[in-house]
Amino acid sequence: MGAVRIPPIAFGLGCVALCFCAVEAMLAIGVLNQFVIPFPSAVLGAFGRLFAEEQLLHRLLVTGAEALAASLLVIGFSIGGGILLHKHRILRLATESWIAAAAAAPIVLAYPLFLVIFGRSSATIVAMGFVAGLAPALLKTLEGFQAVRKTLLNVGHSYNLSSGQLFWKIQFPAAIPTIFTGIRLGLIFTLINLIGVEFLINFGGLGQLINDLAERYDLPGVFATIIFVILVSVVLFSALEWIERWLRPSR
Amino acid sequence: MSGSHSEDETDMRASSAKLRLAADTTDEIDLVIQDVSMRFNTREGTVTAVDGVSFEIKRGEFVSIIGPSGCGKSTVFNILGGLVGGYDGSVVVGGERISGPHASIGMVFQEESTFPWRTVIDNVAFPLEVKGVPKTERYAVARKFIDMVGLTGFEQRYPSELSGGMRQRVAIARTLVFEPKILLMDEPFAALDEQTRVLLGDKVLKIQQDLRQTTLLITHNITEAVQLSDRVLIMTFRPGKVKRIVDIHLPRPRQGDVVGSDAFGRYVAEIWNDLREEASRGMAEAEDSARLRGA
Ligand SMILES: Nc1ncnc2c1ncn2[C@@H]1O[C@H](COP(=O)(O)OP(=O)(O)OP(=O)(O)O)[C@@H](O)[C@H]1O
Ligand SMILES: [Mg+2]
C-alpha cells in the first residue's frame, strides 16, 4: 500500500519543485517582474523569519482553534439539519432551494453584520466560517440520506428494525460517503472564509498575518504564509479522509 | 318452494363441509393471500400490476411463482413481506392479517441488498446483531451459513470485493441465519451460473426441509422451480393473475440429479407451454405500444 502511494506524491512534489525553478529562472532573466512576484528562494527563506518573529505556530493554533470550532459547528448542524430535513418533507420542500441559494451566495460580504453582532473577535470569525460552510454541507448530507437505496431500507424493515436501529444501522452508514463529501466541501468554504475574514478585519491568526505582511510590502512573507495555509489545509483534508476511511472502511 | 328449500339445505351442507375442511387445514396453512390487487399511478396512467391474486401456502410447503418479466412477481413479494401498503385484499400470516413486516418472515431481495460498509461476516451476522446476540456466538452461527453458501475464506471481504453472484449468496446467508419460519425469495439465484444455482438450490432445499420452512420462491427459471417446489404457480402477463397452479409430484428428498429424470422433463415442458403463451403476449404488447409511440 505504502509503495503504491509514493510515485504520485513524488510526482506532485517534483512538479512543484519544477514550477519553483521555472519562476525563479523567469524572475532572474526579467520575464516576470520581481517587484510583483518574489523569488521562490526568498519565499522559502522567509519561513525561518515567520516562525521566529511572527509567531507562525501560535497563529496557526489560533486559526486552527477557530477552524476547529467552526468545523464542529458545521458538522453538527449539517448532520442534524440534514436529518431534520430528511424526516420532514414539508420543511425540506420549504427550505431546500433557499439553502441551495445560500450555498452559492458570497456570504463573506455579510461580515460587517457579523462584526456588529459579535464585535471584532474570534466569535465573528468562527461564525463567518460556520455560516459559509453550513449550506453546502447541509445540502450534501440531505442528499446522502435521500439517496439511501430503497432495497437496503427494505432489508431493515424486513428484520423489523426500530426507527432508531434503522437510522444507525442502515441510513447513517449508507449516507456516510455523501455526508463526507459534503463536510469536505463545507470545510473548504469554512476555511476560505475564516482566513478571509481574519484578513478583512485584521484580527486573529494566519489571515491577519497575511494582512500585516502585505501592509509592510513583505512579499516573500505573504507568499510564504499563503503556502503555509495551503499546507495546513492539505493536512486537514488528509486527516478528514483518514477519519472517513476509519468510519467506513469499504470503498 | 319446497324444492328450493332442499336445495338450500344441500347448499348449506356443502358449505359447512367446506368450512370443516377449512378448519381442518387452518393450522396447516401458514400464508394466505386473498384476492390481492395492486395498482400503481404512473405518468402514463394507472398500471394494474397485480389483479385478484389468491393462493395459500401450507406450513413447510415450497411454492414457486413463475411468470414473465413485469407480471407483478416482485409486487406480490413486497406485499407478502409487508413492505408496501395500498393494495386491495388481504394477506394472512400464521392466522393473523398483516399490516406490516411479520417477525417470522425472512426475505431475500431481487436487487443488490448487501450492506457495502460491512464485511461478509458482519453482513451475515446482521440479523443476529440487531437481536442482541453476543459477538462470538453470532459469528459462529454466521460462519456456518457462510460455509453453506460456499464463501468460507471470504469472511473479511467487503461486498465490493465480491462478484455479483457471491454478493447474492451473502444476502441469502444473511436471511437464512435467523432461521425464519417463512422464507420469501425474489429471484435469489438469478445472478448465478447454472451449476452453482443447482448446488445452492440443493442446500437451500435441505435447510428448508430440516427447518420445515414455508417457502415462496420467485423465479424466471423453470428448472429451478420444478427442482425445488411442491407447487408451481404460473402468473399471467400484465395484469398479473394466477394462470395455473401445477403440483409437482416428484419424490423427496430431491437432489440436483432429479433434473435428469423423465418426469422432470414433462413438468418443465408443461410449464413452458403455459409460460410461452404469456411471454409472447408480453412481447406482442410491447411491440404494439412501441409502434403506437412511433406513429
Ligand atoms: N413503484 C412502482 N411504481 C410504478 N409502477 C410499478 C412500481 N413497481 C412496479 N411497477 C409496475 O408493476 C409491474 C410489475 O412489476 P414487478 O416488479 O412486480 O414485476 P416482476 O414480475 O417482479 O418483474 P421482473 O421479473 O422483471 O422482476 C410492472 O409493470 C412495473 O412497471
Ligand atoms: Mg421482480
> What are the φ and ψ backbone dihedral angles of B247, each rounded to 5 degrees?
-80, 135
Say which CATH number the domain at B236 has.
3.40.50.300
Q: Are residues B98 and B141 in the same domain?
A: no
Q: Are residues B126 and B228 in the same domain?
A: no
CB contact at 8 A, B214 and B93? no
Q: Are residues B47 and B95 in the same domain?
A: yes
Owner of C-alpha cell 470545510: A187
Q: List, in sequence order, every residue forming a beta bridge with B219; answer none if it has no partner.
A: B66
Owner of C-alpha cell 472502511: A249
Helices A122-146 and A89-104: crossing angle, nearest 10°?
130
Q: pLDDT tens for residues A161-213?
A: 999 999 999 999 999 989 999 998 899 899 989 999 998 888 888 898 999 89
Cell of B235: 402468473
Under the banding of pLDDT at 50, 70 and 90, the label for residue A90 is: very high
Q: Which of B7-16, B78-87, B207-216 has the lowest mean pLDDT?
A: B7-16
Number of folded domains that form chain B: 2
> How many beta carbons lie within 10 A of that of residue B281, not counting itself?
14
Strands (E), chain B: 29-42, 45-58, 62-66, 88-93, 96-97, 105-108, 182-186, 214-219, 231-235, 242-247
> What are the φ and ψ backbone dihedral angles of B185, each rounded to 5 degrees?
-130, 125
Residue B292 clears pLDDT 80, i.e. is over it: no
B89 belongs to a structural domain: yes
Q: Tell me which residues of chain A have a C-beta less than 8 Å from any C-beta of chain B.
A: 149, 151-152, 154-155, 157-161, 165, 169-170, 173-174, 176, 248-251
Closest listed residue to residue B31, CA positions, set B180, B179, B167, B205: B180
Question: Rounded CA gap, A44 and A103, in Å?
Answer: 36
B286 belongs to a structural domain: no
Residues of B in contact with A154 (CB under 8 A): 78, 81, 83, 107, 109, 113
B111 belongs to a structural domain: yes
How many CA atoms does the CB half-sphere of B12 hold within 13 Å?
Answer: 6
Q: Are residues B72 and B149 in the same domain?
A: no
Question: Rounded CA gap, A225 and A213, in Å?
Answer: 9
The full DSSP string for A131-152 is: HHHHHHHHHHHHHHHHTS-HHH
Q: Are residues B113 and B70 in the same domain?
A: no
- Across residues B271-283, what is the average pLDDT? 82
Residue B295, pLDDT score: 56
Residue B232 clears pLDDT 90, i.e. is over it: yes
Q: Are residues B72 and B145 in the same domain?
A: no
Q: Are residues B118 and B89 in the same domain?
A: no
The DSSP output letter for A171 is I
Chain A, chain B: beta-carbon pairs less than 8 Å apart: 58
Residue B294, pLDDT score: 65
> Residue B281 in 3-state DSSP?
helix
Q: What percentage of chain A reaches a pLDDT higher than 90? A: 47
Q: pLDDT tens for residues B136-180?
A: 999 999 999 999 888 999 999 999 999 888 898 999 999 999 889
Q: Are residues B170 and B246 in the same domain?
A: no
Q: Are residues B95 and B186 in the same domain?
A: yes
Cell of A24: 525563479
> What pTM does this model have?
0.81
Choose from B104, B117, B181 for mutation: most chain A CBs within 10 A.
Answer: B117
Q: Are residues B124 and B262 in the same domain?
A: no
Q: List, in sequence order, every residue forming a beta bridge with B114; answer none if it has no partner.
A: none
Geometric angle at alpha carbon A155, from B240 and B181, rounded to 5°: 80
Instruction: State ipTM.
Output: 0.81
Range of the domain at B115: 106-179
> How many beta carbons lie within 10 A of that of residue A13, not counting itself?
10
Q: What percentage of chain B reaches a pLDDT higher than 70? A: 89
Option in B113, B158, B159 nearest A155 (CB): B113
B132 belongs to a structural domain: yes
Question: Rounded CA gap, B255 and A195, in Å?
Answer: 72
B259 belongs to a structural domain: yes
Residue B287 clears pLDDT 80, i.e. is over it: no
Question: Rounded CA gap, B182 and B176, in Å?
Answer: 10
Residue B173, pLDDT score: 93
Q: Are residues B68 and B187 in the same domain?
A: yes
Which residues have C-beta atoms less than 6 Å from ligand 1? B 40, 42, 47, 49, 69-75, 110, 238
Residue B15, pLDDT score: 45
B90 belongs to a structural domain: yes
B252: left (phi over 0), alpha (psi -120 to 50) or beta: beta
How much is the CA Rg of chain B, to the nearest whole Å?
21
Residue B20, pLDDT score: 38
Better pLDDT: A120 or A249 = A120
Question: Rounded CA gap, B130 and B111, in Å?
Answer: 22
The beta-carbon contacts of A3-10 under 8 Å, at least 24 apart in sequence, are: none
Q: Are residues B160 and B125 in the same domain?
A: yes
